[in-house]
Amino acid sequence: NKIRPFISLIMNIGLIVVLIFGAYRVANGYTKVGQILALITYFTLILNSTASLTRIFIRMSRAGASAGRIVEVLKLETTIVDGNKPLEINPSLPHLEFDNVTFSYHGKESHLENISFKLSRGQTLGIIGATGSGKTTIINLIMRFYDPQQGTIKVFGEDIKTLKRDELRRHIGLVLQNDSVFSDTIHENISFSRPHVDLNQVKLAKEIAQADFIDQMPEQYDHEIAQRGTNISGGQRQRLLIARAVASNPELLILDDASSALDYQTDKNLRFAIAKHLKNTTKIIVAQRISSIKDADLILVIDNGRIINQGTHDELAKSSEIYQILVKHQLGEGLA
């Protein structure tokens, strides 16, 4: 773009020179007007093509640099070995089981220590704990972004290391803390190019995710979202991401601090809608607010990579010191 004004300056100076020189020759009878006009036409044609060529070269060198970066990512070796078993849904076995899982990102201090819990199909797990306590790390292990150094994670009785990774992930609806939306329509952002997610499912997903704001948009589902969602609010972005996660009716729904920008009432409506429409889906809700997890079947209180207390809301409100402190701080903030 910086080159364009420079090129057009040269082009126009060239034209002026041709015109002045041509006018002089025509006036003296050396040349015919038609010859000058033909010269100018050819001159502009050639200059325009040269300008297009430079543009193509600039684009090619830019695309080359971008492609290089993409190839760099694609070339990264993964240490995770894919399994080959298909995922079989067996409601009589625990849907998700952590058995004494210990994990460290770099092999020095452990980021998770002896994590054990069990969830039946359709149950809700709440995870609460300070920033950096290891909540997202638990999610990373379920997704098999990393493998634990010790212990096993089982889905319907199978060690997830033996399962086909794509299948494991296909059954999970995941919203991570800083997930992003795409610069595409609302419909595409929710259906995410999954062929089996049709308009009816997109509409149901909207309803579950409390994303009513879509109805108020002039083009509704065809409304274009700007890159990184800069033309919608944080709460709207979160609801769009939740709609994307629930649209495929996943077996496992994981919301990692995914409703922090919602007000208490909307957050509550969201939880009710999820419970109503996704009865067979096992849910994992990571949250800072007690109110987001208080109805969970099991709540883990995580601190420094360990489960320091676990139980239901009522049990923890009696037995867990940290939980009691959280309840006290958040009392009155829509906890009732």
Closest distance of CB 122 from ligand ADP, Å: 25
Binding mask 37-66 for ligand ADP (x = CB under 6 A): ------------------------------
The two beta strands, 298-303 and 306-311, are: antiparallel
Q: Give a three-class secondary structure readout of 79-127.
A: CCCCCCECCCCCCCCCCEEEEEEEECCCCCCCCEEEEEEEECCCCEEEE
Contact of residue 137 among ligand ADP, Mg ion, none (CB under 5-8 Å per partner type): ligand ADP
Closest distance of CB 304 from ligand ADP, Å: 9
Binding mask 67-106 for ligand ADP (x = CB under 6 A): --------------------------------------x-
Closest distance of CB 111 from ligand ADP, Å: 4
Tokens of 55: 């543009």
* CA–CA dist 254, 136 (Å, integer): 10
SS3 category, 175: strand
In the bound state with ligand ADP, the residue whose beta carbon lies nearer, of 236 and 259, is: 259
Q: How far is CA 66 from CA 61, 63, 72, 73, in A?
A: 9, 5, 10, 11
22 lines the binding site for ligand ADP (CB under 6 A): no
* CA–CA dist 283, 265 (Å, integer): 20
In the bound state with ligand ADP, the residue whose beta carbon lies nearer, of 111 and 313, is: 111
- On the CB side of 171, CA atoms within 13 Å amount to 22
128-167 positions binding ligand ADP, by CB under 6 A:
129, 131-137
Binding site for ligand ADP (CB under 6 A): 105, 111, 129, 131-137
